[in-house]
Amino acid sequence: MSASLVQYGKAHISKGISRSTELVINRAKGAYVYTVDGEKYFDLTTGIGVVNTGHAHPTVVKAVQEQAAQVSHVQVNIAFHEPMIRLTERLRTYMPSPSLDTFFFWNSGSEAVEAAIKLARHATKRQNVIVFQGSYHGRTFGTMAMTTSKTIYSAGFAPLMPGIVVAPFPYIKQWSAHKADPVKFNEDWCAQEALRGVELVLKQQTAPKDTAAMIIEPVQGEGGYVAPPKQFMQGLREICNKNGILLIADEVQSGYGRTGKMFAIEHFNVTPDIMVMAKGIASGYPLSAIVSRKELMDLQPPGSMGGTYAGNAVACAAAMATLDVFDEEKLLENCQARSEQFFAGLRTGLNRVLSEKNKNNTKGDDSTIDVDIRGLGLMIGVEFFNVPSGFASQVAKEAFQLKTLILTTSIYETLRLIPPLNITKEETDLAVERMVASVEAAIKNI
């Protein structure tokens, strides 16, 4: 059955969509997806960090069914609806600071990022926005200009939105100075060097009086699952404070418990002026949001924000149920425990595999295969060094042979593991086992 469906899909669905597999999924549950042919796959992608509560969580399913039977759509520019108001009330209790108290709901992460930029420009009466090297903020016209993780996302679509300036991000493993002397050029050096780069941008490319905001992912997603040093994030906050620039945290991928805290910005003891949410917010239903201080949000005149499906009632009900699952099943605690298990298992397993491969190396240190296992919580990146181009993709293909879905990320040889936050201890052991086996299979061909 799947072959004919795939053939039809290829013929009549946009070629501009890339896919890592040609599976045709017709149902999913927990950490597994099932194809129309009855095959079962272990899903370590969660729809790219969307179904953080696992596929088809019964609490979410029930909430969606009940809401759909009452009212499925209330247009936000016409009336209030109860699910949005209740969700707003509930979300305020999860914010990293009480000052983040006023919300606007939209549909997707890209739209929410654009809503944040609209707010920043309107509030400051300034135009320019600073983004960071390796960032991913979306694929709409505005966010394409802000995305620097890969050129594929914007190639051929220029001219893009003006006013975007790129500053360095402290991706220490890819800084040439760190490679030359990893002891001397350590995390602190990298953070300070990146902050100096931001100061240069404000002196050379966009004057503070022209700069509305800086937007940053507290942990880069498409850029490689890279968490910056704490001192870098705190330094950005100080620069923004000094220059009247708004700091925007793009938590589309790193939020909703993915890093072991509700929002990744909490790891850095920094409060943004605007925070962007999407992906995990409603366990698979289209919903996104921005939150800011009421004093900023109230500067926007009625009618300047909105959208046909903005803050859909069914999606808001799913978002409420998602928070119920977080509380009732203690997802943050489970995320932290499973994170420790993942990191310990991967380091033991991958170091064993690489050690066996490297012991026969006769070419010296420059050709020694190395791995960086990094991230926060269950936002885990695995980057390989001194491997052929395409190695990470080959590992993902080997995992696919083991009925396991794993994604690559960034322009470097990097894999990302994004399991559901309620993954069990036994499933985590299985995930580590299959990941290590996939690397072992791929490395035999080097």
Q: What pLDDT score was predicted for residue 364? A: 61
| pLDDT digits 0-9 by tens, 352-404 | 999 999 987 766 666 899 999 999 999 999 999 999 999 999 999 999 999 99
Compute the C-alpha angle 105/107/108, nearest 5°: 115
Average pLDDT over residues 301-323: 97
Cross-strand pairs, 329: none
Report the percentage of the chain scoring pLDDT > 70: 99
Residue 221 has pLDDT above 70, yes or no: yes
Residue 183 has pLDDT above 90, yes or no: no
- Find all residues with CB under 8 Å of 441, minimum gap 6, and list them: 398, 401
For residues 148 and 135, what is the distance between their CA atoms, to the nearest angstrom?
5
Report the percentage of the chain scoring pLDDT > 90: 93
For residue 205, count other CB atoms closer than 10 A to its CB.
14
Residue 177 has pLDDT above 90, yes or no: no
Q: How many CA atoms lie within 13 A of 289 on its CB side?
A: 25
Q: What pLDDT score was predicted for residue 360? A: 77
Q: What pLDDT score was predicted for residue 365? A: 62
Q: Which residue has the higher pLDDT, 181 or 121?
A: 121
Q: Which two tokens stand for residue 419?
A: 């399991």
For residue 262, count other CB atoms closer than 10 A to its CB.
21
Torsion sign, CA atoms 426, 429, 430, 431: positive
Residue 192 has pLDDT above 80, yes or no: yes
Domains, the chain: 2-56+330-443 (3.90.1150.10), 59-328 (3.40.640.10)
| pLDDT digits 0-9 by tens, 33-83 | 999 999 999 999 999 999 999 999 999 999 999 999 999 999 999 999 999
Q: Which two tokens stand for residue 250?
A: 């793009």
For residues 41 and 39, what is the distance between their CA atoms, to the nearest angstrom?
7
Query: Which one, of 197, 201, 212, lies nearest residue 128 by Cα?
Result: 212
At how many degrees (to 10) do helices 313-328 and 58-70 cross? 150
Q: Which two tokens stand for residue 227?
A: 């968490």
348: Cα separation from own chain's centroid: 26
Q: What pLDDT score was predicted for residue 367? A: 82
Taken as a whole, the chain contains a residue count of 446
Q: What pLDDT score was predicted for residue 175? A: 87
Average pLDDT over residues 408-417: 97
For residues 355 and 349, what is the distance between their CA atoms, to the nearest angstrom?
10
Cross-strand pairs, 417: 380
143, 224 in Cβ contact below 8 A? no
E strand or H helix at 434, and its extent? helix 425-443
Residue 424 has pLDDT above 70, yes or no: yes
253, 217 in Cβ contact below 8 A? yes
